[in-house]
């Protein structure tokens, strides 16, 4: 019986990540694609005799992994915060800088002033760095506009980045990133406006895939975010939360309570918050770039997360203030060296678990028959090398929806 397929990649080793643990290694393998989805994979010796590929690629003995998924970025912004980097090195804290009108609000100012084209150009440069390291799906948050026109512009730029770069973009509305100056002292009013006006308007324009908020004393309280999340759920949108980054503020418990896809950061999460996340199946998104850049000393409780079976994702948190980084591979290394993940956990954190943090796990993040054919090909001897190198490695090819994008 013949089995026609569009494309076959042969002479590759596979790391399928398609199990609860382990790389899912298949040495000397092949993988076949039809209609943008994986049609067959396995040892090359087991290739079905009738399999006929219209096109065959030679993987040159490299390793093929699921395409990387950067599940937490703030990729679209204008301006730079290098000056604050200097201030922090001279002793100012992140909270001090925010209180002086710096921090997020400085980027809001620059982003509101930027044209859509300027925003696109600056953001595309960062996106290309992610793609170079094997990213095939990326989450992009708004949150540097904080008024309807500017949030719309940022989300529209995120959508356009996806259209023009052959990468799957998941957009997240983060209007609850900071209280904008025009609402200073009126955070409740601002949240009510987000819930009843801005979010429904952007949702109606198909610009929003999920809703996020920043739960910290310098941003929003659990009660305020609960209100916003109720509006999100009423629109059928999943939610996520920046939780317990700088203080124990009840964010993890809130994320679990509202059925959030993920709670992100979690340096200060307490035992009750962890237990609630475990119960609810909330993904913990670990962001070592922000931990490193802020020179934090308290790491997320990875051992407890592991013991409780909380899935751990890893992401760049690419943003101008606290994680000016567009290297997922550097994050893999830092997740291991700074937080104690194993290289295997770290790789799962940017593939299988990252997909779950975006609600895409039925379709992406693993190599398995029926899933989207999103791959990265690497010139390495073993997948553990992806976390071993301290950044600075490129993938040798990307495949998105079965289409080879680069040299492969
Ligand atoms: Zn973030």
Q: How far is the CA of 174 from the centre of ligand 1 (A)?
A: 9
Q: How far is the CA of 179 from the centre of ligand 1 (A)?
A: 16
pLDDT in the model for residue 102: 80
C-alpha distances in angstroms, 47 versus 26, 39, 371, 372, 376?
Answer: 13, 12, 19, 20, 21
Q: How far is the CA of 298 from the centre of ligand 1 (A)?
A: 17
pLDDT in the model for residue 408: 43
C-alpha distances in angstroms, 171 versus 30, 138, 202, 206?
Answer: 33, 9, 11, 10
User: Tokens at residue 270, please?
Assistant: 């307490």
pLDDT in the model for residue 406: 60
For residues 29 and 13, the answer to whether their CB atoms sit within 8 Å is yes
189: exposed, middle or buried (Cβ count in 10 Å: 0-12, 13-18, 19+): exposed
Q: How far is the CA of 74 from the centre of ligand 1 (A)?
A: 6
Tens of each residue's pLDDT in the chain, 408 residues: 789 999 999 999 999 999 888 999 999 999 999 999 999 999 999 999 999 999 999 999 999 999 999 999 999 999 999 988 888 889 988 788 877 778 888 999 999 999 999 999 999 999 999 999 999 999 999 999 999 999 999 999 999 999 999 999 999 999 999 999 999 999 999 999 999 999 999 999 999 999 999 998 889 999 999 999 999 999 999 999 999 998 888 999 999 999 999 999 999 999 999 999 999 999 999 999 999 998 899 999 999 999 999 999 999 999 998 899 999 999 999 999 999 999 999 999 999 999 999 999 999 999 999 999 999 999 999 999 999 999 888 999 999 999 987 654
User: Look-up: residue for tokens 């948190």?
Assistant: 317
Coil, strand or helix: which one is 168?
strand
Q: How far is the CA of 11 from the centre of ligand 1 (A)?
A: 39
- Ramachandran bin of 340, using left for φ above 0, alpha for ψ from -120 to 50, beta for the remaining angles: left
pTM: 0.96
């Amino acid at each position: 019986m013949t089995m026609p397929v569009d494309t076959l990649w042969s002479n590759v080793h596979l790391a399928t990540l398609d199990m609860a643990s382990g790389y899912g290694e298949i040495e000397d393998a092949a993988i076949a694609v039809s209609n943008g989805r994986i049609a067959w994979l396995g040892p090359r010796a087991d290739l079905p005799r009738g399999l006929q590929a219209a096109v065959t690629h030679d993987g040159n003995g490299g390793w093929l992994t699921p395409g990387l998924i950067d599940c937490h970025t703030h990729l679209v912004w204008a301006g730079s915060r290098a000056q604050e980097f200097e201030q922090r090195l001279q002793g100012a804290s992140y909270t001090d800088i925010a209180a002086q009108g710096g921090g997020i609000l400085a980027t809001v100012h620059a982003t509101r002033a930027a044209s859509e084209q300027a925003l696109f150009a600056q953001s595309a440069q960062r996106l290309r760095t992610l793609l170079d390291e094997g990213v095939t799906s990326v989450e992009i948050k708004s949150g540097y506009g904080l008024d309807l026109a500017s949030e719309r512009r940022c989300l529209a730029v995120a959508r356009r980045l996806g259209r023009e770069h052959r990468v799957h973009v998941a957009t997240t509305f983060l209007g609850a990133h900071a209280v904008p100056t025009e609402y200073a002292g009126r955070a409740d009013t601002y949240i009510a406006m987000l819930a009843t006006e801005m979010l429904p308007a952007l949702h109606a324009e198909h610009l929003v895939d999920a809703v996020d908020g920043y739960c910290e004393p310098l941003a929003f309280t659990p009660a305020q975010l609960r209100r916003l999340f109720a509006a999100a759920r009423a629109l059928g949108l999943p939610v996520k939360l920046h939780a317990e980054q700088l203080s124990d503020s009840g964010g993890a418990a809130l994320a679990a309570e509202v059925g959030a896809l993920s709670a992100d950061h979690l340096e200060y999460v307490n035992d009750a918050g962890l237990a609630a996340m475990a119960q609810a199946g909330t993904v913990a998104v670990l962001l070592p770039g922000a931990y490193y850049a802020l020179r934090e000393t308290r790491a997320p409780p990875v051992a407890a997360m592991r013991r409780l079976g909380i899935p751990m994702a890893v992401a760049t948190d690419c943003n101008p203030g606290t994680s000016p980084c567009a290297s997922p591979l550097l994050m893999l290394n830092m997740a291991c060296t700074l937080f104690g993940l194993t290289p295997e956990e770290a790789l799962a954190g940017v593939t299988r678990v990252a997909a779950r943090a975006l609600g895409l796990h039925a379709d992406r993040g693993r190599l398995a028959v029926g899933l989207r054919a999103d791959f990265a090909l690497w010139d390495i001897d073993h997948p553990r090398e992806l976390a071993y190198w301290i950044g600075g490695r490129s993938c040798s090819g990307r495949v998105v929806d079965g289409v080879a994008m680069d040299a492969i």
